[in-house]
Amino acid sequence: MSQPRQSDTIAAVATAPGRGGIGVVRVSGPHAAAVATGVVGCVPDARRAHFCRFLAADGRVIDRGIALWFEAPASYTGEHVLELQGHGGPAVLQDVLARCLELGARPARPGEFTERAFLNDRIDLAQAEAVADLIDATTRSAARSAMRSLDGEFSRLVHVLEDALVNLRLFVEATLDFPEEEVEFLEQAGARRKLAEVMEALSALRERARCGAVLREGVTVVLAGAPNVGKSSLLNALAGEDRAIVTDVAGTTRDTLRELIAIDGVPLHVIDTAGLRETEDPVEQAGIARTLRELEKANAVLHVVDASTGFDATARAIDASLPEGLLRIRVFNKIDLSGDQPRTDRHEGLTTVWLSVRNGEGLDLLRRALLDCVAWHGGAEDALSARSRHLYALDRAVEHLDAAQCCLSGSALRLDLFAEELRLAHRSLGEITGQFTADDLLGEIFSRFCIGK
């Protein structure tokens, strides 16, 4: 698309809410020059910082700052763009924005600047989503992953796969005109070998995207167990600071406490919860109800057990109450009292870790077990920021290529079905960069962006 869908001019505060040393108001659209003339008295030279006064309609000075002008199409959105960088107080920024609106701009929708960049072919859809991922990144590894995707590495690898599929499709569809020679044609072109190469490259890309999705979304882990087994102490140990109140009184934790920690660059959202037990205390009952709700939404649960009392009837009852299918790690805490050694056991899909929060023994084993539960074995160095829809598209491409491979195997060669599966795989890959994307999906994607971006 060479022309934007919107013909109006938009404006928004592009910096985060609150006070700051510097604040930015961004304007984009065909009438940005008129806004510039009205606010700063002229259209500044392109890509040169222009120190000036920001003026109200009656000539009053709203602020002093820097005006930057970007001529279309060499701008973030591909349109004329004006950026007004002034002082970061909320009141003054709102005054500058109000002046821009007064001069004919309208308030931008969430993500509308980036949406226009996509519609004007400045970036593709995967890059556009990486903009939001970079802003939302909670660890350095996640930020670097998002930056690789924003720089176009994810899209480039997708295009390499698409080109390989196009070349294979062209040959196969030409071969369909000569059915009596199709086997010989396929052998001469090395169709099976080329398909195998595409499948290998796709598998490698899917793994890099999966690692990026883990870095982007993180893992939600709930601490569950009876009162006084050391859940809050474990949260503090993992966080490296005292975040939860720890006492010998059962039922101290009555509400959920969330802490974001990073292990090997992977964000973990660890949630400490109220101890699970029968109680008549209405406040504690409310806390337990919240615990159960958090368990329904979690990726994994750490079922903490007092190693000095063992896996008793209370622990068994709690284990039975955990949601089915939820990945769980059983943690025997207080081995300094039980005499056990720190270790990790894996049996029939259940990981068990023995540790002591008090003296720190076994905590590294637990950290490793948490990474293993999301199949994380490194990979942050080349991970590509990806979302669920990207992984879904890659999975479907793999399924279609698997089906295409089946069409070439055995005695019954189905070249027409082979060509169709290649086409469907190609279409799945195109959904990642926005080549085949419904408008309603675009609306959903960009509505999740912040205003001003």
At 344, which amino acid appears? T
Across the strands, what pairs with 25?
A: 13, 84
- The pLDDT-based confidence of 56 (bands split at 50, 70, 90) is very high
| Tokens of residue 172, six digits | 């196969």
Q: Confirm whether pTM is higher than 0.85.
A: no
pLDDT at 273: 76
The stretch 364-371 carries a mean pLDDT of 92
Other residues' Cβ atoms within 10 Å of the Cβ of residue 405: 15
Whether residue 68 contacts residue 24, with contact meaning beta carbons closer than 8 Å, is answered with no
- Nearest residue to 28 (alpha-carbon basis) of 119, 151, 147, 89: 119
Alpha carbon distance 379, 381 (integer Å): 5
pLDDT at 251: 44
Tell me: pLDDT of 341 over 60: yes
The stretch 48-53 carries a mean pLDDT of 96
Centroid of chain to Cα 440: 20
Residue 183 CB partners (closer than 8 Å, separation 6+)? 413
| Tokens of residue 68, six digits | 């930057």
Proportion of the chain in helix, strand, coil states, percent, rounded to 5: 45, 20, 35
Query: Where does 341-419 show beta strands of DSSP type E?
Result: 343-347, 350-354
Radius of gyration of the chain (CA): 28
pLDDT digits (tens, 9 = 90+) for 291-339: 677 777 778 889 999 999 999 988 898 888 888 888 889 999 999 999 9
pLDDT at 167: 86
Tokens 């510097």 — which residue?
22
The CA–CA distances, whole Å, from 440 to 26, 131, 447 equal: 26, 20, 11
Tell me: pLDDT of 181 over 60: no
| Tokens of residue 142, six digits | 């996640």
425: Cα within 13 Å, side-chain hemisphere: 29
84 vs 274: which has the higher pLDDT: 84
Tokens 């793994």 — which residue?
207
Whether residue 41 contacts residue 52, with contact meaning beta carbons closer than 8 Å, is answered with yes
pLDDT digits (tens, 9 = 90+) for 126-160: 999 999 999 989 889 899 999 999 999 999 999 99
Tokens 């991922």 — which residue?
133
Tokens 């999705």 — which residue?
213
- The pLDDT mean for the chain works out to 86
The stretch 82-104 carries a mean pLDDT of 96
The stretch 90-118 carries a mean pLDDT of 95
The CA–CA distances, whole Å, from 265 to 147, 149, 153, 235 equal: 15, 17, 20, 18
- Report the run of H or E that residue 412 belongs to, with start and end: none
Give CA angle at 69 (63, 75), nearest 5°: 130
Give CA angle at 177 (173, 181), nearest 5°: 100
Longest CA span, the chain: 84
Give CA angle at 447 (441, 451), nearest 5°: 150
User: Phi/psi of residue 409, each to 5°?
Assistant: -100, 160
The CA–CA distances, whole Å, from 237 to 332, 356, 367, 409, 438 equal: 15, 10, 11, 55, 47
Tell me: pLDDT of 66 over 50: yes
User: Phi/psi of residue 250, each to 5°?
Assistant: -65, 140
Alpha carbon distance 279, 276 (integer Å): 9
- The pLDDT-based confidence of 252 (bands split at 50, 70, 90) is very low
> Helices (DSSP H) in 247-302: which residue ranges?
282-297
Domains of the chain: 10-123 (3.30.1360.120), 136-214+384-447 (1.20.120.430), 221-372 (3.40.50.300)
Query: Where does 318-438 show beta strands of DSSP type E?
Result: 327-333, 343-347, 350-354
pLDDT digits (tens, 9 = 90+) for 206-233: 999 999 998 898 888 988 888 888 888 8
> Helices (DSSP H) in 153-260: which residue ranges?
153-175, 182-189, 191-217, 231-239
Tokens 């002082």 — which residue?
87
Q: Is 164 helix (H, G, I), strand (E, B) or coil?
A: helix
pLDDT digits (tens, 9 = 90+) for 398-438: 999 999 888 877 656 677 888 899 999 999 999 999 876 66
pLDDT digits (tens, 9 = 90+) for 21-45: 999 999 999 999 999 999 999 999 9
Whether residue 86 contacts residue 37, with contact meaning beta carbons closer than 8 Å, is answered with no
